[in-house]
């Protein structure tokens, strides 16, 4: 027997009369996906530019290859420890259709329960790696190598500018998702999620499968 899908991915939902309208981004919206990609992309572009500079200085491909492999592996597994808990993961088809990772293959089973402690740790690990450790390490190493290679002032300042813009992109990204995404995201157990409890409760009351899984995990309504 097929279990009931979350209202987020059901067809013909009368959302106009839902009390959660405006409180959650709980339906597919191409504009939200596009804006998420727009604010996230500069981070990765900046890191690739910095790694490209390291390659030009050293002739070594391994930093770029390692970064690409890291992105494939960590984002692939992120589908398991984060996305598979999201109501959007129950959409029809073999590929995810959501507000952040649309197009990713649905290779795992939907889990309506909240994230475990380990899964929350992994989410934080990905954030730290992508927004702190990798950009800082790449930027500092590139500037150090340029300095000891006696690079021209223009090249040194240009690289420093790319590094600074990448750090700015990270700050802007984290601020935007905190204010405009995490405050309305239906993946409620993500450690970045800031949706009010009353909104979470009301959504769970509309979706029995998810509510039961959350209550079995110890969540209390009200």
Binning pLDDT at 50, 70 and 90, where does residue 73 land? Answer: confident
With vertex at residue 128, the alpha carbon angle to CA 127 and CA 129, rounded to the nearest 5 degrees, is: 95
Is pLDDT above 60 for 134?
Answer: yes
Confidence bin at 147 (pLDDT 50/70/90): confident
Is the pLDDT higher at 86 or at 54? 86
Q: Which of 6-15, 17-26, 146-155, 206-215 has the lowest average pLDDT? A: 146-155
Rounded to whole angstroms, the Cα distance separating 199 from 176 reads: 21
pLDDT of residue 65: 93
**Mean predicted confidence (pLDDT) in 53-59:** 87
Q: Is 21 helix (H, G, I), strand (E, B) or coil?
A: strand
Residue 16 pLDDT > 80: no
Residue 153 has pLDDT above 90, yes or no: no
Mean local confidence (pLDDT), 140-164: 86
Phi, psi of 100 (to 5 degrees): -140, -50
Tokens matching residue 203: 């959504």
Q: How many helices (H) and strands (E) does the chain have?
A: 7, 0
Per-residue confidence (pLDDT) for residue 2, from 0 to 100: 61
**pLDDT (average), residues 181-193:** 96
- Candidates 164, 149, 150, 132; CA nearest to 50 is 164
Tokens of 86: 């999201």
Structure tokens at 77: 């597994």
Angstrom distance (rounded) from CA 62 to CA 68: 10
Q: Over pLDDT 70: what percentage of the chain?
A: 99
Global pTM? 0.88
Phi/psi-derived region of residue 150, left when phi > 0, alpha when psi is between -120 and 50, beta in every other case: left
């Amino acid at each position: 027997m097929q279990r009931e899908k979350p209202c987020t991915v059901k067809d013909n939902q009368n959302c106009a009369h839902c009390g959660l309208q405006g409180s959650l981004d709980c339906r597919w919206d191409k504009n939200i996906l596009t804006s998420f990609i727009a604010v996230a992309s500069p981070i990765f572009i900046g890191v690739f530019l910095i790694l490209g500079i390291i390659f030009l200085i050293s002739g070594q491909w391994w930093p770029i290859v390692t970064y690409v492999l890291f992105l494939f592996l960590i984002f692939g597994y992120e589908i398991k420890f984060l996305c598979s808990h999201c109501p959007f993961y129950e959409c029809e088809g073999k590929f995810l259709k959501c507000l952040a990772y649309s197009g990713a293959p649905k290779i795992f089973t939907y889990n309506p329960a909240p994230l475990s402690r380990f899964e929350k740790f992994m989410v934080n690990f990905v954030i730290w790696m992508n927004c702190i450790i990798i950009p800082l390490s790449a930027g500092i190493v590139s500037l150090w190598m340029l300095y000891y290679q006696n690079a021209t002032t223009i090249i040194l300042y240009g690289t420093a500018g790319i590094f600074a813009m990448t750090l700015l992109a990270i700050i802007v990204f984290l601020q935007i998702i905190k204010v405009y995404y995490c405050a309305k995201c239906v993946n409620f157990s993500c450690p970045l999620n800031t949706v009010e409890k009353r909104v979470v409760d009301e959504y769970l009351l509309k979706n029995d499968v998810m509510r039961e899984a959350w209550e079995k995990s110890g969540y209390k309504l009200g």
